[in-house]
Structure formats: structure tokens, C-alpha cells
Amino acid sequence: MLSKLTPTLLAAVFATGCATTETPPSPTPEGALTSYELLSLMSEATLSGNSTSTNGATFSQTYPKIPKRSNKGKTEGTWNPPGDSPSSYKISWKIRGDQWCEKWDSGSACWHIVPISGNDYQFYKDGVALSEVWQIQSPNPGPLRLTPAQIEKYLTKNQINAGEWQYKGAGGNQSGTFVTHACADGSRYASSDNKPFYKSKWFFKKNKMCSINHEGKERCYAVWQHADGTYTTFRKTESGQVTSVSTVQGASGKCSA
């Protein structure tokens, strides 16, 4: 057994094709955390799990408190090979787009991170899920993905939901505001960027909330609830992705009209 952490073993902690240079932007898996959510989640958190390539080895990394507006830093980790003494290693981390990136002596990698349940998170490299599910224990846990029953409970009881939307993809980034009224009878009133409201309907398809937009096109979103009472929705398009962050802002007068 090895008595210390070698560059090869260190690279194995984050295996699945880690390059020696930082990876370019990769396809975004559905439900991936945004840069804002990643910074909140990883502040004072501990990341741990099984190596994706070395049988029986585990690792653990603890991050310091991340100041607001910071998008990079350094930390240390511990490598635990079976039957041998633990070894420490140093890494630097940064946010690139909506990916969490880390660099160590022998290489680097960037991942999209998708919450599963509890402390379990699925990491994706270049759009491909790693073979192991890793754990993140954080004082600022990631959002809860809502089931249709939870979406109906929180967001469709004659309520106003308002916030900001953002598109990233071909043609450049775009952003704006929106307001929706989701009514208990299945009707929906929506407006974006202060345009006149239009009426449609909302419904569920699999585990997503769907609606018909002003062009008559179906749009389906995954919905997450955050500890601070905000909601995030995510939808992939042919050319990019649309996310929104919103809050419930009271009872709707339109639903009872």
C-alpha cells in the first residue's frame, strides 16, 4: 500500500477524464445548481465520497466560509486509501459559469452539481454523471426539488408568483422579469417584462409543472424550493437553458375574478 498521496491517486479522486487544464463549458444537466446556489452550498461545507476509480478509497474536503462576491479560493482535503494512512492534499477552487471547478497538482476538473436528496449530490463532468454519488454536508443546504403534490401545495392556490428569468445559450444571454397567477382551477395568467397578461392553463407532466405560453407552445419546468422561501425553475431549450428565481407575493385577484 502507498504511504502517501501520489499525483496519480489524487487525480483518481476526481477521475472520469480529468484534464491537466481547466475544462471548457459543458452541457448543463437538468436541475444543476447555479453559481449563486453553488457558492451558498459550498460555504463551510464538507464534500466527501468514494473515489470513482480507486477501489475502496474515500476522500473528504472542507471549505472555509466563502465571502460574498467571491468566486475562488483554496482548501485542503484528506485521501483515505484502504489499509493505509490518510494523506492530505491542497486544492484551489473557482466558479466558472454554473460549474464548480477544482485544480490540484496533477490536474483539474469542472462539474455541474445536481441535488438528489438529503446530503446526496450528483456531479456531472462534460455532461456525464460520475459513477459515484458524493455527499455535501452544508450549513446552507441545496434546494429541495418539488414533487407535483408539493408544487400544487405551494404554487397553485390562487397565488401571485413573481421574479426574474434568465436565458443562457445561443444568441447571447438575456434576462427579464415575470409575474404569474396560478389558480386552483387550473387557469394561469402570466406577464413578462411588464407586457399585458395573457390567460392559459397549467398542468403537470411527469414531475414538471407545465403551461401554455402566449404563442400556444407548451413549456415544462422543474421546480426547486429554497430555505429562504424563494423558488427556482429550470427548462432546457434547443439552444440553451432558461432559469427563474421567484417568490410568492400574496393572493391573486385574477383567480377569483
- 213 compared with 102, residue with greater pLDDT: 102
pLDDT in tens, 188-209: 999 999 999 999 999 999 888 9
pLDDT at residue 94 in the model: 95
At residue 149, the pLDDT reads 87
* pLDDT over threshold 70, residue 5: no
If asked whether residues 125 and 223 sit together in one domain, one would say no
- Is the model's pLDDT at 183 over the cut of 90? yes
CA gap 61, 130 in Å, rounded: 18
Identify whether residues 89 and 193 lie together within a single domain.
Answer: no
Q: Which domain holds residue 11?
A: 7-142
Final residue belonging to a domain, choices 142, 169, 195: 142
Q: Is the pLDDT of residue 14 over 50?
A: no
Which of 145-174 are b and which e, b meaning 16 or more Cβ less than 10 Å from the residue's Cβ?
A: bbebeebbebbbebbbbbbebebbeeeeee
Same domain? For 172 and 92 the reply is no
What is the predicted pLDDT for the residue at 19?
A: 38
Which segment of 11-20, 47-56, 123-132 scores lowest on mean pLDDT?
11-20
Q: For the chain, what is the mean pLDDT?
A: 84
Q: Tell me the pLDDT tens digit for each residue of 115-126.
A: 887 789 999 999
- Domain shared by 207 and 109, yes or no: no
Q: What percent of the chain has pLDDT over 70?
A: 88
* Structural domain contains residue 1: no
Q: Give me the pLDDT at residue 236, please.
A: 82
Last residue of a domain, one of 142, 167, 182: 142
What's the CATH number where 158 sits?
A: 2.40.160.90
What CATH code is carried by the domain that includes residue 22?
2.40.128
- Sign of the CA dihedral running 132, 221, 141, 104: positive
**Domain end among 125, 142, 159:** 142
Using alpha carbons only, give the angle 234, 128, 45 rounded to the nearest 5 degrees. 70
Q: How many domains does the chain have?
A: 2
Q: 150 and 94 share a domain? A: no
On whether both 107 and 164 belong to a single domain, the answer is no
| High-pLDDT (> 90) share of the chain, % | 44
The kind and range of the H/E element at 50 are strand 46-50
Secondary structure E strands in 126-251: 128-129, 134-137, 144-145, 159-169, 174-182, 187-192, 198-205, 208-212, 218-225, 231-236, 240-251
Q: How far is CA 215 from the centre of its chain?
A: 29
Ranked by mean pLDDT, the top range of 10-24, 25-39, 124-138 is 124-138
Average pLDDT over residues 121-145: 88
Same domain, 130 and 12: yes
Nearest to 14 by CA among 93, 115, 118: 93
54 and 43 inside one domain: yes
pLDDT score at 31: 78
Q: By the 8 A CB rule, do 131 and 16 touch? A: yes
Mean pLDDT of 5-33: 52
CA distance 17 to 173: 29
Tell me the per-residue pLDDT of 142-176, one tens digit each, with 9 for 90 and over.
Answer: 667 788 888 988 898 898 999 999 998 888 889 99
